[in-house]
Every structure is written in C-alpha cells, then in structure tokens.
Structure 1
C-alpha cells in the first residue's frame, strides 16, 4: 500500500509540474496594470467568484464538484495552449484543431494519473464541456463572466474591435439562474459605461452584436 501511494503521489507531482505552465501560459485578456493575464489567474478568480456567489444561487450546488470543475476546466491548456475566442471566431478551423488538441491533452492527463482521480479529472472536464448539469452551467457562466469582467478592468486600448460587440452576448449562458443573470447585467453595464465614457455609441454596438451573434 505504501509503495502504491508513493507511485500515485509521483504521478500527481508530474501533473502539477505540467500544470505549472498555466502560471505563464498567457491569455488574450489584459490586467488593469497593463500586464497580460495568465490562465492560472483566470482560474483563480473564477474559483473566488464561485465561492462568493454560492449563497445567492437559485438552487443548491455541489460546491466541491463546482470548484473541482473550475480548477480542471483549463488544465488541458498546460498541454494544448490557450486559444483565443477571437481567433476561433475569425477562423472556425482553429476551433476544430483546439478541440482535437484538448482531447489528446485530457487523455494524456488521465493516463498520467492512471488511478480513479485520473478518470474523475477526465469526467469533470467533459461535464464542463457538455454544460448539462447545474454545476457545469454555473461553471461555464462564471467562465464567461470572469472574462468580460477582466476586459472591463483593462484599458480600452487593449480591446479589439469585435470585443465591443462580444460584451453583449453573455445572456444565453446565464438565463438558467436569476442571480447569475443579475450579475451579468451588472458586468454588462460596467462595459457599457466604459464604452460611453470613451465616446462610443453603445446602442449601435448592441445592434451590431445582435446582428453578428444571433
């Protein structure tokens, strides 16, 4: 039993070494101090959001599962790298490549762990991707909201043109829960206020968003 546990712990250390890449794997988002955000930082604030929102959610949530799902959902990017949503919008083929790379990555991670925890990590990754359970819906909504919140914190000079329209497309990801919908409204208003302060016509941007992302 002792040797078996040591073997399992060594496998965990190997995955943690792989996961360390998430501390320097950069995302498209920028921070308020002008530095680019890492994947690990995004995951950390998603986790904090889940903890803070949990008492306000409409339905009971399995917090252990929710936090595990959040922590695991971008683990594949330590192997496959982060791919910007903007790149996927511009070139749908990139999304297909991303999905295949992430499939290989989660299989590798499952096999590295090779015990029941490996299968659990694998299953949680796909539960998040499939968005069917309440926990998966909450995790996915928080994922989208944290991204927009980070954009709101960053200088507009870091925004690409399409990100103005993307500020108004989160509704379909949050409509299952009133609390998360209200949070979306507040984050969306932050974005709109930021645009207005910069002299942007928010009504026109909303209309373009409705046309581009029906």
Structure 2
C-alpha cells in the first residue's frame, strides 16, 4: 500500500515548518451510505417492488418476503461498502491546505492548497453533517473517476474535490483558514511557476 506507513495518519509525510493541523476527521459512514451509495433510494425501490409483488405480481406474500430478503442483503452490502469507504478516508485541514487521503484498495493522497481554492460550497446532508466541495482557481489535475467519490457529482469536465459527510463544526474552521489565504496572489504564482501539479500530493 502506498500509504501503509504514514508518519502522521492521513498525511504522506511530516508537515513542513510553519504548517500545523487545524482539523482532522473521517466521513460519517451513514452519510456516505445515503449520499454516495443512495441507500435510501435503494430501500424505497425495494419497498415499491415488494408492494407490486404482493398486490399484482401473482406471488403474494411469498414474493414480497423474498423481495425484502434480497433488499436486506443488498442494503447490508451497501452498508459494508460505505463503512469501508469511510474508514479508509481521512480529511485533514491545515493552515496551508486540505488533504484528502482515501481509497480502499488503491489509496491516494491529494493536496488542495487553500490559496488555490476560489470558493467552498456546502450541501447539508442531514443529522448535523454536510458535504463541502472546493472549487479550484485553476484546473484540477485529476480526473473525475480518480477522485470518486470525493468529488462533486456531475462535474465531469471540471472536477471539484469534495469532503463527504463532515460535521458542521468543520465549516467555521475551514472558513477561517480560507479567509487567511490569498487566492489571487497564489494563483498568479502558481501560473508563473507551473505549480498546479502541487495540488496532487505524492508520498514522501
């Protein structure tokens, strides 16, 4: 594993002088189940199918019970996938960047410098958690599928890193850190020195 030996959990290397961790956490697995694997919609679909099987499918109670048994198995699989995805993910906010370490089979570590974040959009996910998507000032170097599911849905042409199912208490910390960054200055510097690739971290 690329990040099997982490000097600091969730980070590919030790922090340089002048950088410190502000917040670190993992996604809420129930939020991942709802937002990524759409467990609620799957459950509703199975209930509808079971209803049709009971009323009009010709199989009556037996068909409905079989459908619900399959539903329970399917939802259990989604729950396992959601827990694995959440457990393998660590989000880190420092005074310089946001770091996303994720991946069950093939771990990745992605750095998003705060000074290169143009805006942060928040989507409530229920139960005190939110999804936070970051819009870079420059084109993000990784493709949508490379970042999934930690990417804003449907933004295939211009991927936006997303922190999934984080607590609302994270928002003021991120807002304060972004306010202290200088996006315009950093964007010019990145363009001049070709530092866009610095958004993608490599193992130290």
TM-score by length of 1: 0.30
TM-score for the superposition, normalised by structure 2: 0.31
Q: Which has the higher helix share?
A: 1
Choose between structure 1 and 2: higher strand proportion.
2
